[in-house]
Amino acid sequence: MDLIVSHEAADPLPSQGFSIEKNEIMNGTITRREMFLACIGFYEFFSPKMWRAAFTELVATAFLVFTLTTSIISCLDSHVSEQKLLVPIAVFIIAFLFLMVTVPLSGGHMSPVFTFIAALQGIVTLARAATYVLAQCLGSIVGFLIINSVMSHNAARRYSLGGCLIAGNGTSAGISAETALILEFTCTFVVLFVGVTIAFDKRRCKELGLVVVCAIVAGAMAIAVFVSITVTQKPGYAGVGLNPARCLGPALLHGGPLWKGHWVFWVGPFLACVVYYGFAKTLPEEGLVWEDKFEHDIINLARVWRNGTGTSCHLQRKK
């Protein structure tokens, strides 16, 4: 999720660029279209570093989905009395390890949620965000293809391959769409508030270091999963996903009820991102030192699109 302590390793904006100023637009040197393309990061489509980072996201998401899903289902399917306590421990360990590996390589998103909030706040460009989300969705499908080929059919049937079943549509298992929507929104907002607020704070990240920040983010994810499993206690539901792509693989492979209720796993987290983005604008400025690349902030992009003004963006020189 682009922790600031390691952001320099995640393919920062090219140094071979120049700032586009308003007078350059007015005298015709730079068109408004060129400025907008620069602000959405169109140049990154031609960057091998970005494509390598996207491939890292694909591989990391595939194996994160595989390890998390199989671990959670194994915990819930065990006969120990503390099975629900095992789930957050597994989530914390797996999420922490994957974050430690991928943050310096691609930013450590591994979920459209973290990519979306990073794009809203201008930490990554829209071009990179779109590429990451596509890679994450493909990674989820690959991960569940592996799960489907190795998991016990009884466990796969009981937990709907990934715990993404919505009640109704001819089934009594799983949870209702309303409950799933509330849980996805609430738990995602909690993770954003606890994890992203620290991850995007330049000063605090450097004070705490990569290990501590990754532990905080992983801990927030573990708590969210534990709460969602505890309050629902439904066999077709394996806890809040915090990752819309997590349920995409099962929906495509099994279809039926999984596909009909799939929308809640996208709408809930994305609403949480929008609300958190608005909430972050009200946080005390003296308490935070946000990342200073807000030319890609969604509000700035809207200004550029509407009237050609806003924070200057970088446009790669043509050679």
What is the pTM (predicted TM-score) of this model? 0.82
∠ at Cα 62 (9, 243), nearest 5°?
A: 85
Average model confidence (pLDDT) across the chain: 78
The distance from CA 9 to its chain's CA centroid, rounded to whole angstroms, is: 18
Instruction: Tell me if residue 151 falls in helix, strand or coil.
Output: coil
Tell me, what's the pLDDT at 160?
67
**Phi and psi torsions of 166, nearest 5°:** -105, 130
118, 69 Cβ separation under 8 angstroms: no
What does the DSSP assignment read for 280-294? HTTS-GGG--B-S-G
Instruction: Tell me if residue 181 falls in helix, strand or coil.
Output: helix
List, for residues 203-238, the tens digit of each pLDDT value: 888 888 999 999 999 999 999 988 887 777 665 566
Higher pLDDT, 149 or 64: 64
Nearest residue to 126 (alpha-carbon basis) of 48, 40, 36: 40
∠ at Cα 117 (286, 39), nearest 5°?
A: 90
List, for residues 176-210, the tens digit of each pLDDT value: 788 888 989 999 999 999 998 888 888 888 888 99
Q: 10 pLDDT band (50/70/90 cuts)?
A: very low
- In this structure, the chain runs to a length of 319
Nearest residue to 31 (alpha-carbon basis) of 318, 317, 305: 305
For the chain, give the percent of residues with pLDDT over 70: 70
The distance from CA 81 to its chain's CA centroid, rounded to whole angstroms, is: 32
Measured between alpha carbons, how far is 56 from 174 in angstroms, rounded to an integer? 33
Considering the domain 39-280, what is its CATH architecture? Up-down Bundle (1.20)
* Residue type for position 316: Q
∠ at Cα 209 (206, 215), nearest 5°?
A: 135
What average pLDDT score do residues 288-315 get?
59
Q: 14 pLDDT band (50/70/90 cuts)?
A: very low
Domain locations along the chain: 39-280
Measured between alpha carbons, how far is 301 from 62 in angstroms, rounded to an integer? 32
What does the DSSP assignment read for 195-225? IIHHHTBHHHHHHH-HHHHHHHHHHHHHHHH
* Residue type for position 40: I
Listed in sequence order, the residues at least 6 apart from 28 whose beta carbon sits closer than 8 Å to its beta carbon are none
231, 125 Cβ separation under 8 angstroms: no
Q: 109 pLDDT band (50/70/90 cuts)?
A: very high
Which helix (H) or strand (E) covers residue 316, if one does?
A: strand 314-316
Tell me, what's the pLDDT at 179?
84
For the ranges 37-51, 104-118, 246-260, the maximum mean pLDDT occurs at 104-118
